[in-house]
Amino acid sequence: MSIGEKREYKVIGTRPVRHDGVDKVTGRAQYGADVHPTGMLFGAMLRSPHAHARIKRIDTSRAAALPGVRAVVTSADLPDQGSRVVELGEGAVNMRHLSANVLARDKVLYKGHAIAAVAADSIHIAQEAVNLITVEYQPLPPVLDVRAAMKPDAAVLNDDVRTEGLEPGDPAANRPTNVARRILFQKGDVAAGFQSADVVLEHEFVASTVHQGYIEPHNATALWNADGNITVWMSTQGSFTARQQTAELLRVPVSDVKVVPMEIGGGFGGKISVYLPPVAALLSRKSGRPVKLVMDRAAVFEATGPTPGAYIRLKLGFTKDGRLVAGDAHLAYEAGAFPGSPIGPGCMCLFACYDIPNARVEGFDVCVNKPRTNAYRAPGSTHAAFAIETMIDEFCRQAKMDPAEFRIRNGAKAGVRRVDGPVFDRVGMIETVEAIRNSEHYQSPLGGSNRGRGIATGFWFNCGLKSSVTATVNADGTVALVEGSTDIGGTRTSVAMQLAETLGIAAEDVKPTVGDTDTAGYCDVTGGSRVTFATGIAAVEAAKDIISQLVVRAARHWEVDPKTVEYVDGGVTGPAGKRLSFRELAATLHETGGAVIGRGTSSEANQGGAFGTHCVDVEVDPDTGKVQILRYTAAQDVGTAIHPSYVEGQIQGGAVQGIGWALNEEYWYDDMGQMRNATFLDYRMPTCYDVPMIDTILVEVPDPQHPYGVRGVGEVPICPPPAAIANAIAGAVGVRMRQTPMSPPRVLAEILKQD
């Protein structure tokens, strides 16, 4: 269902069949692993068996000698990066670290760390050759726990890492360390806030590492041509950042690299960083042939993704009449092998749902011997929501206060200053809670024993960033739209619909194409819930550009003054009741000056944030600790739903990922830092037999920054589920879960502690 402010649209809010749909239900859509240029070789990679070790020697001679092997590369083939830090569209990256992650140099920092690669006539020969490469390691003690890694005596992963963000003059700033960054935000008077509190709660929370879990493994096929041009066909969330990363890693001009974004089989943040393209390119340069690299599932788990494991300590102060008056938070996020966990957004999101007068949050970005973490759907926010949303629920149950009422009373709204400083504009936090409170689900009685109901709210900023669109009017009245935003979830259609709405034509009359980096204008990544927002703005701009040109063309066609021509409801009107529909006018363009091409760009740094509130019913088996999800409803402030089906789909998909995070998903490491569950069998993502239907309530609070009020919807739905489920478990069996996943043994252990 959908509630909130409504405006009248012709195309927006309808549910056309997506433009790429037929290709995807017939198997014709071409994904990265499907490309097969003439003469292509198959590549395979050698990966580290150790979590932490120094590489003393690599001998690839036996691999190179195997018949059918055409090229072998190691990090020695990658150019030196010095200590450059480069802006890569969605954040700055230390190139030395990025390069060492692509192919390890002097050290391996996690099990599965890539060391060498082979290109051969068949995948089987390539794999046999990889087994012939010998590496001499000097194993080092693995650092696996974020708190242990912060200790002064911990083994240091990267000797070039120093702690950023310390107080001026702090001597620790000059010491090699695993703590790459410290973040501190403060608002009001925290001590006085706790003084004024009637109830103070303080708890520790632990979150395990989880993976984005996209079904399509990373892949890249590269051709390094004799003319120096490099073409990469790959699965990526951002062809332009993939191009830049590849060019920077190979130290070639960015224009020498063309990235062709194939259809992408899921990303969720994990397909922004590059792993394979530079390696495939080097193998191609050595062999003179195109080379395809595809990761196997174990490599995807062990060497890509994941989102950080985390330790959080949170203290909250409440007045007995139910006001949140003070908060103090300590967050330590695992960066993995190299700095760069989402500790910043984690700290900024933790208190963002609430109007809290006094708060302090301190966060740390900490290197450990696990894969380099990457963005995953609202990076850093889910961990934070798990902590604060379960503690608020704990207070509400103690104070016998309705958790929805508490959130409505304390919720963030326009004018509230966040702990990180800025003041909220129009946001829909309270509206989403009201939507849940008023829902049939929340109002319905919860029958049965060992059952509980929980709610939780989540926040994510949503990025804006840069997008471009070009649109060419065809003589038959259709429009060919070219964008650079890879389409992971139907954005070709949601972008095309905005162009159609602006032009007053049908969605089906727009033919959207995702172009490669030589044919499309610059677009930042498909991430940060930004494409329907930012590329949508670019499409609207392109449509306006077309309109302004069409007015002139119509005037020329009618031989009247352009000032007398207007564009209204999908056509032009002129003097003496002249009117041409868009289609009629399109047919005349070749007589009045040729093609009409609209251009649009957008460069908003961010959107107004998005909020979601979820309600879940669970049943807990008190003998085994297993949790079943009985019913689930998610309400979200979506701004304006362009294609409601795909908005619902984002919310449903995010909610189920959150359910997986809550109940079973985790990296299971042994003491030597070996991940022991790097398969879809033992890394337990929800199957459809594990979840119910996910009901959605689309709350439409238009974003003033977007012409149609669009807000990003993709990320925030992953934030509330773990907390909502923990709260439901508390209602069902009276135990408070403070560690994710809330797997059966952990829940049972808490139950057994009770009696």
Partner 1 sequence: MAKKRVVQTTINGDAVEFLCEPRQTLLEVLRDVLNLTGTKEGCANGNCGSCTVLMNGRPVTSCLVLGVEAEGAEIRTIEGVACGGHLDCVQQAFLEGAALQCGICTPGFIMQTEALLAENPQPTEEQVRFHLAGNLCRCTGYDKIVRAVLAAAEKKRANV
Partner 2 sequence: MPRLFIPPSLRALTGGVEVVSVTGATVREALQSLERQHPGFEARFCDGGKLRPGMTIAVNNRFAPDGLRTAVSPDDEIHFLPALGGG
Partner 3 sequence: MRDFDYEAPLQLAAAVDLLARHSGAARPLAGGTDLIDHVRTGRLSPDLIVDIKKIAELNVLAADATGLRLGAAVTCTQVAAHPAIIQNYAALADSAQIIGGVQIQNRASIGGNLCNSGPAADSTPSVIALGGRCVIARPKGMRELPAEEFCTGPGKNVLAPGELLVEIRFPAPPAHSGSHYRRFIPRNEMDIAVVGVAAAITLDSQKQKVTAARIALGAVAPKPLLATEAAAELVGRPLTDDVIAQAAAAARKIATPITDMRGTAEYRLHLVGVLVERVVRAAAARARGEAIDYKPGH
Binding site for partner 2 (CB under 8 A): 85-87, 90-92, 164-169, 181-186, 212, 267-270, 272, 342-345, 347-348, 360, 375-379, 420-425, 460-464, 527-530, 603-606, 712, 714-715
In whole angstroms, give the CA distance from residue 699 to residue 721. 18
Cβ 682 to partner 3 shortest distance, Å: 6
- Give the length of the chain: 755
> Helix 403-410 vs helix 429-437: angle between axes, to the nearest 10 degrees?
160
- 3 state DSSP class of 246: helix
Cβ 655 to partner 1 shortest distance, Å: 6
| Closest to partner 3 by CB, 476 or 671 | 671
214's contact among partner 1, partner 2, partner 3, none, with CB below 5 to 8 A by partner kind, is partner 1
| Residue 268 found at the interface with partner 1 (CB under 8 A) | yes
707's contact among partner 2, partner 1, partner 3, none, with CB below 5 to 8 A by partner kind, is none
In whole angstroms, give the CA distance from residue 156 to residue 122. 40
| Closest to partner 3 by CB, 121 or 128 | 128
Kindly tell me which residue out of 544, 564, 685, 746 binds partner 1, with binding defined by CB under 8 A: 685
Contact 738/312 with Cβ under 8 angstroms? Answer: no
| Closest to partner 3 by CB, 5 or 682 | 682
16's contact among partner 3, partner 2, partner 1, none, with CB below 5 to 8 A by partner kind, is none
Per DSSP (E only), the strands in 546-702 are 566-568, 571-574, 578-581, 597-606, 610-620, 627-637, 694-700
Edge-to-edge strands, sheet with 479-483: 510-514, 479-483, 463-473, 597-606
Burial of 505 (0-12, 13-18, 19+ CB in 10 A): buried
Angle, vertex CA 45, rays to CA 39 and CA 49, nearest 5: 170
Residue 43, φ and ψ in degrees, nearest 5: -110, 155
Nearest CA among 112, 44, 31, 30 for reference residue 291? 44
624's contact among partner 2, partner 3, partner 1, none, with CB below 5 to 8 A by partner kind, is partner 3
| Residue 679 found at the interface with partner 1 (CB under 8 A) | yes
In sequence order, which ranges of 323-443 are alpha helices (DSSP H)?
343-350, 381-398, 403-410, 429-437, 440-443
In whole angstroms, give the CA distance from residue 446 to residue 448. 7
In whole angstroms, give the CA distance from residue 599 to residue 583. 20
745's contact among partner 1, partner 3, partner 2, none, with CB below 5 to 8 A by partner kind, is partner 3
| Residue 65 found at the interface with partner 1 (CB under 8 A) | no
432's contact among partner 1, partner 3, partner 2, none, with CB below 5 to 8 A by partner kind, is none
Cβ 34 to partner 1 shortest distance, Å: 4
Site string for partner 1, 281-320 (x = CB under 8 A): -------------x-xx-----------------------
Cβ 170 to partner 3 shortest distance, Å: 40
In whole angstroms, give the CA distance from residue 273 to residue 98. 9
Stretch that binds partner 1, among 18-26, 147-155, 498-506, 622-630 (CB under 8 A): 18-26
Q: For residue 1, give both structure tokens.
A: 């269902």
Find the helix or strand (DSSP H, E) in which 729 lies.
helix 721-733
| Closest to partner 3 by CB, 15 or 626 | 626
- Which phi-psi region, left, alpha or beta, contains residue 513 (left: φ > 0; alpha: ψ -120 to 50)? beta
| Closest to partner 2 by CB, 67 or 168 | 168
| Residue 38 found at the interface with partner 1 (CB under 8 A) | no
Task: Work out the number of other CB atoms within 10 angstroms of the CB of residue 30.
Answer: 12
Please list every residue from 568 through 597 that binds partner 1, using CB under 8 A. none
The answer to whether the bond into 644 is cis (omega within 30° of 0) is no
684's contact among partner 2, partner 1, partner 3, none, with CB below 5 to 8 A by partner kind, is partner 3
Amino acid at position 561, single letter: D
Kindly tell me which residue out of 4, 13, 18, 290 binds partner 1, with binding defined by CB under 8 A: 18
| Residue 534 found at the interface with partner 1 (CB under 8 A) | no
Q: For residue 421, give both structure tokens.
A: 């400083």
| Closest to partner 3 by CB, 109 or 747 | 747
Cβ 675 to partner 2 shortest distance, Å: 21
| Residue 321 found at the interface with partner 1 (CB under 8 A) | no
| Closest to partner 1 by CB, 188 or 266 | 266
Q: Classify the C-alpha dihedral 701-706-707-711 as positive or negative.
A: negative
424's contact among partner 2, partner 1, partner 3, none, with CB below 5 to 8 A by partner kind, is partner 2
Cβ 30 to partner 1 shortest distance, Å: 7
Contact 735/395 with Cβ under 8 angstroms? Answer: no
| Closest to partner 2 by CB, 9 or 424 | 424
Total residues contacting partner 1 by CB under 8 A comes to 60
Please list every residue from 89 through 128 that binds partner 1, using CB under 8 A. 123-124
For residue 275, give every residue at least 6 positions away whose Cβ sits within 8 Å of its Cβ, in sequence order, or none: 101, 102, 114, 218, 220, 295, 303, 304
694's contact among partner 2, partner 3, partner 1, none, with CB below 5 to 8 A by partner kind, is partner 1
Contact 293/278 with Cβ under 8 angstroms? Answer: no
The binding site for partner 3 (CB under 8 A) comprises: 124, 127-128, 623-624, 626, 628, 663-664, 668, 676-677, 681-682, 684, 686-687, 689-690, 743-745, 748
Contact positions vs partner 1 (CB under 8 A): 15, 17-18, 20-22, 24-31, 33-34, 36, 123-124, 212-217, 263-268, 294, 296-297, 488-490, 643, 645-646, 648-650, 652-657, 679-681, 685-689, 691, 693-694
